Amino acid sequence: MSGNGASSSSLNMISGEDVVNNNFSALVVDDSPLLRLLHDIHLKKYGLKVQVAENGKVAVDLFHLGASFDLVLMDKEMPVMNGVEATKELRAMGVTSMIVGVTSKDGPGEQQAFMEAGLDYCFEKPLTPEIISFLLEELNKHHNKD
């Protein structure tokens, strides 16, 4: 797991109230219909409003059209536009959403290159309840700062 200070000690379960009473939106970007469904349902269970995109270009086009999301789950390897390219493009556009990379269990070098594209965090897929709770906690912190 990589991220800005993310560690197992900060992966605490947030309260049930935080889980249900949030107005956060998420975009799941993955070329696998299975992963899109899995993460879609998982995030909805935590109270987020979710949209999906099948590759990085679809995600970038959504932002170009004026869509905004609090959280973007970005798969790394996708056709048309991969996660690294999409992340770079979103950051170049000035997108400040939390962008979380999801990768397979491959080498640490893979995660490092992805992080350098502009991710906030990078985790192995699929995301676990503990990781989603952690991300919600981080979203709450950023939301309370603004």
Partner 1 sequence: MDLVHLQRQLVDYRTSLYHEGFLDEQFTQLQSLQDENNPDFVVEVVSLFFEDSERLLNELSKALEQQIIDFKRMDAQVHQLKGSSSSIGAHRVQKLCIVFRNYCEAQNVEGCLKCLQQVKHEYGIIKTKLESMFQLEQQILNAGGSIPV
Residues that bind partner 1 (CB under 8 A): 31-35, 37-38, 41-42, 45, 77, 104-105, 125-126, 128-129
Q: Between 10 and 33, name the residue whose CB sits nearer to partner 1.
A: 33
Q: Report whether 71 contacts 93 (CB < 8 A).
A: no
Closest distance of CB 28 from partner 1, Å: 13
Q: Which two tokens stand for residue 122?
A: 């990078």
What gap in Å lies between CA 110 and CA 133, rounded to an integer? 24
Q: What's the maximum distance between 2 C-alpha atoms anywhere in the chain?
A: 39
Identify which of 10, 9, 29 has the alpha carbon closest to the alpha carbon of residue 100: 29
Closest distance of CB 145 from partner 1, Å: 31
Closest distance of CB 36 from partner 1, Å: 9
Q: How many residues does the chain have?
A: 146
Q: Report whether 102 contacts 123 (CB < 8 A).
A: yes
Closest distance of CB 61 from partner 1, Å: 23
Q: Between 44 and 143, name the residue whose CB sits nearer to partner 1.
A: 44
Q: Between 42 and 97, name the residue whose CB sits nearer to partner 1.
A: 42
